[in-house]
Amino acid sequence: MFNIYHQPYTRGRYPTVAANGVVATGNNLAAAAGLQIMREGGNAIDAAIATAATLTVVEPTANGIGSDAFAIVWYKDAMYGLNSSGCAPMEISIEKLKEQGITEMPKHGWTPVTVPGAPKAWAELSRRFGKLPFAQVLAPAITYARDGYPVPPDLTRMWKMAVRSYTDKKDDPVFAQWFQTFTFQGMAPEVGQLVKLPDHAKTLEKIAETQAAALYEGELAQRIEEDSIAHGGYLRKKDLQQHKAIWVDPVSVHYHGYDVWELPPNGQGIVALMALNILKEFQFAQRDEEMFHHQFEAMKMAFADGLHHITDAQYMKTGVQSLLHAAYGRERSREIEAFAKQPAVHMPPKSGTVYLCTADSEGNMVSFIQSNYMGFGSGVVVKDTGIALQNRGHDFSLNRNHVNALVPGKRTYHTIIPGFLTRNGKAVGPFGVMGGYMQPQGHVQVVMNMIDFHLNPQQALDAPRWQWVKDKKFIIEDSFDTNIARKLQERGHQLQVDLETAGFGRGQIIVRLDNGTFMAGSESRTDSSIACW
């Protein structure tokens, strides 16, 4: 599958290889935490939980205890999907918000807060597939929160951006706990500064002791309700009590000899599959303007369909399989012409997310993603708990006729998506690329890099990326081939170089080779690490 030694990109490094286990994520301490649990006798699922919990501590700019989570698990030669995204509170409604003069869902504060699903995902994964006690698996995260960790460079950059963006909220009591928890004398931490999160540690201990029940039924649930009421929020203990992590069947399309798997809606994974379902009608010999033009057009079509149809599966009027049907992909592929076309879609917002993947010597693998959305999420931290809450409700529409209209108890369109590859019924491995609406675009790019151009996992991640923004506008990395960019512009694509590489997503990939060993890649655009043995 891979051309191991050819290094076409100056940013690149060689892939990591290992035999006994691999943990790949965007933070070295979190990867080490997962490997620690694996070496204590845990499997890939235990390692994924430990890594995910640790990421809430060591990368709070992108996720937290108040996050949602999704997972694809390959366990004993079978695939499982888990959706632990939270619903809108039962107390909220379009009518109530409009009575307050709210015409679109806000980004920050209590209004866009939905039920946090990540801790329930950890507990459910542990219950079904874990080998070690849940408390043991969460121990590394608790230690880092209590004893502290040094802040790496890219995390410092993201933290400083967040502090600047919250400047106008420093006197608002709704955000007081955020400033108390995540700023130090009013500032973001510097590189190497030791950060301790004692309230976060205590909350993780309660989650560990109760298999997350404290957050959904007990003391922490009560604190969340009290804080919500105090600040005019809609989230209540009953919403937390009703939350369930749902086991789902992943969906796939066959692309040039491989099966590419995503989770079904409410996640946007099928956007990547719809694009690949179009692109599989073509053969690409090289990464030239013809290939990029087809990628651009297929992605715009996929988003046009996805943003029109995707929401909570219970509310979708169009079936997933009809959107992924091979005949539909062929039909859409015939619409691609020589020049750029105008799609009818909304401009995607930016986001903040963490992704991780793990693999163990038994062949078990996990593709796991969790997020607070838009960096620190809602900007709300529950008093004395360290729980930073997500703002997923921002993606709801207040138009009653919109497919993703706000409804009490409904799950919103969700950007975070884990991916997985198989071939002939056997696992190839997990992959993911973080970054809001960049995620399906990143999935398409790394999958095609590996399958069509035989790049190894590290090369597939290092290759220059593009991102569709709106209309005919795309942003490209500064490493993107200038000659190809010029030819794409001649086809009517509007290209702009963006020097902010983190905006192009952050990814990880693990593949299992035919001899049972592993090859992995991790994002070169940010603080990123692979731990293995």
Sheet holding 529-532, edge to edge: 246-248, 78-84, 68-75, 365-371, 354-360, 21-25, 529-532
CA distances from 132 to 48, 139, 204 (A): 12, 11, 17
Q: What gap in Å lies between CA 351 and CA 372, rounded to an integer?
A: 9
The DSSP H or E segment spanning 357 is strand 354-360
In DSSP notation, 32-86 reads HHHHHHHHTT--HHHHHHHHHHHHHHH-TTT--TB-EEEEEEEETTEEEEEEEPP
Q: What gap in Å lies between CA 200 and CA 146, rounded to an integer?
A: 8
Six token digits for residue 131: 């080998």
- Location of structure tokens 């890219």: 154
- β-pairing verdict for 473-476 and 494-497: parallel
Neighbours of 160 (CB within 10 A): 15
Phi, psi of 432 (to 5 degrees): -165, 150
Phi-psi category of residue 83: left, alpha or beta, with phi > 0 → left and psi -120 to 50 → alpha: beta
Q: What gap in Å lies between CA 261 and CA 194, rounded to an integer?
A: 39
| Alpha helix segments (H runs only) across 237-282 | 237-242, 269-279
Neighbours of 496 (CB within 10 A): 10
Q: Which of 353, 358, 501, 526 is catalytic?
A: 353
> Is the CB of residue 223 less than 8 Å from the CB of residue 236?
no
- β-pairing verdict for 258-262 and 251-255: antiparallel
- β-pairing verdict for 426-433 and 258-262: unpaired
Q: What gap in Å lies between CA 23 and CA 224, rounded to an integer?
A: 33
* HEC string for 159-227: HHHHHHHCHHHCCCHHHHHHHHHHCECCECCCCCCEECCHHHHHHHHHHHHHCCHHHHCCHHHHHHHHH
Active site residue 183: no
- β-pairing verdict for 426-433 and 529-532: unpaired
Q: What is the largest CA-CA distance in the chain?
A: 63
Q: What gap in Å lies between CA 417 and CA 354, rounded to an integer?
A: 11
- Location of structure tokens 């992924």: 324
> Is the CB of residue 47 less than 8 Å from the CB of residue 358?
yes
Q: What gap in Å lies between CA 499 and CA 520, rounded to an integer?
A: 26
Q: Which residues are catalytic?
A: 353
